[in-house]
């Protein structure tokens, strides 16, 4: 069916089967792939009565651009959430919320890596502008290794307006900028926080920057002046997680 999307790779397909089985319409496996990881996928598909078919590996190669590991799923279209989802997430949040904003990140590999890190660090959601930004596709799902199915991706029409509204709800906006005076490790990220990562090379847009309550930078000890956005995101999110766990330990 033309309206179906293809998700590929063992982790991405397993995540779809575990978290959104109703969206999975068909699983395709390479004919000679027969191992415990594939058997686990077959068992999950069987629990939801999802048909499993065999195909030649060259057929799978033609269907997707990337390393499919002999596993391809046909699924109903991706779910990208709107602005209203944020209020629902914040209402359900346990403890100070942590949100990640990617301002102008267009590489699907970077988006997938950031979704994976956001899940690992306990972020509630990843927010992107609707225009000039990567969105959910097969590459993002493959790189995210299942995180794309559990971390909401929220696409907003006006990022600056969304930030202002979230500030009114008591969240602090922390932007990253190489010229900032404050280092990441000097800033308290244990409260309700929105972390903003700008596009590689360009950084945050002017309107986004104007809505930041704080600007922080990563200390650089070598000859390079910046990190890949997904790497920098990992450093920042896990610093927030470290601080939060440390505060929780002291209050226990």
CA distance 195 to 175: 6
pLDDT at 35: 85
Instruction: Choose among 188, 173, 181, 193: nearest CA to 219.
Output: 181
- In the prediction, which pLDDT does 1 show? 43
d(CA 41, CA 39) in angstroms, rounded, equals 5
Residue 251 has a pLDDT of: 64
pLDDT along the chain (252 residues), means of 10: 78 87 91 84 93 91 86 84 89 94 94 96 95 87 83 94 96 94 96 94 90 94 83 97 86 59
**What are the φ and ψ backbone dihedral angles of 195, each rounded to 5 degrees?**
-100, 125
What phi, psi does 79 have (nearest 5°)?
Answer: -105, 110
- Rounded Cα gap, residues 6 and 27, in angstroms: 10
Q: Do 25 and 50 meet the contact criterion of CB atoms below 8 Å apart?
A: yes
Rg (CA), the chain: 20
Element (H, E) at 44: helix 36-47
H or E stretch covering 115 = helix 108-121
Q: How far apart (Å, rounded) are the C-alpha atoms in residues 94 and 73?
A: 34
pLDDT at 2: 54
**Domains parsed from the chain with CATH numbers:** 5-75 (3.30.1330.30), 84-251 (3.40.1280.10)
Report the pLDDT value the prediction gives residue 5, as an integer from 0 to 100.
85
Question: Contact at 8 Å (CB) between 25 and 18?
Answer: no
- Determine the pLDDT at residue 80: 80
Using the 8-state DSSP alphabet, how is residue 123 labeled? -
- Stretch (H or E) spanning 70: none
Instruction: For 130, list phi and psi in degrees, rounded to 5.
Output: -65, -35
99 DSSP β-pair partners: 125, 194
């Amino acid at each position: 069916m033309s309206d179906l999307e293809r998700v590929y790779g063992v982790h991405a397909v397993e995540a779809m089967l575990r978290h959104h089985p109703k969206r999975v319409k068909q699983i395709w496996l390479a004919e000679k792939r027969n191992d415990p990881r594939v058997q686990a996928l077959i068992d999950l598909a069987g629990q939801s009565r999802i048909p499993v078919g065999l195909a030649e590996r060259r057929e799978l190669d033609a269907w997707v651009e990337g390393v499919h590991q002999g596993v391809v799923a046909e699924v109903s279209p991706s779910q990208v959430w709107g602005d209203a989802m944020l209020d629902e997430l914040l209402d359900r949040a346990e403890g100070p919320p942590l949100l990640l904003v990617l301002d102008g990140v267009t590489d699907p590999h970077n988006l997938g890596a950031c979704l994976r890190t956001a899940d690992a660090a306990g972020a509630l959601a990843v927010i992107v502008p609707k225009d000039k930004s990567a969105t959910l596709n097969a590459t993002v799902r493959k790189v995210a290794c299942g995180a794309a199915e559990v971390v909401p991706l929220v696409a907003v029409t006006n990022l600056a307006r969304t930030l202002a509204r979230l500030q009114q709800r008591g969240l602090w906006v922390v932007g990253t900028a190489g010229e900032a005076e404050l280092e990441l490790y000097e800033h308290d990220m244990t409260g309700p926080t929105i972390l903003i990562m700008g596009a590689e090379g360009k950084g945050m847009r002017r309107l986004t920057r104007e809505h930041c309550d704080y600007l922080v930078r990563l200390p650089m000890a070598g000859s390079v002046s910046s990190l890949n956005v997904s790497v920098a995101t990992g450093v920042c999110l896990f610093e927030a997680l470290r601080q939060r766990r440390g505060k929780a330990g002291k209050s226990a």
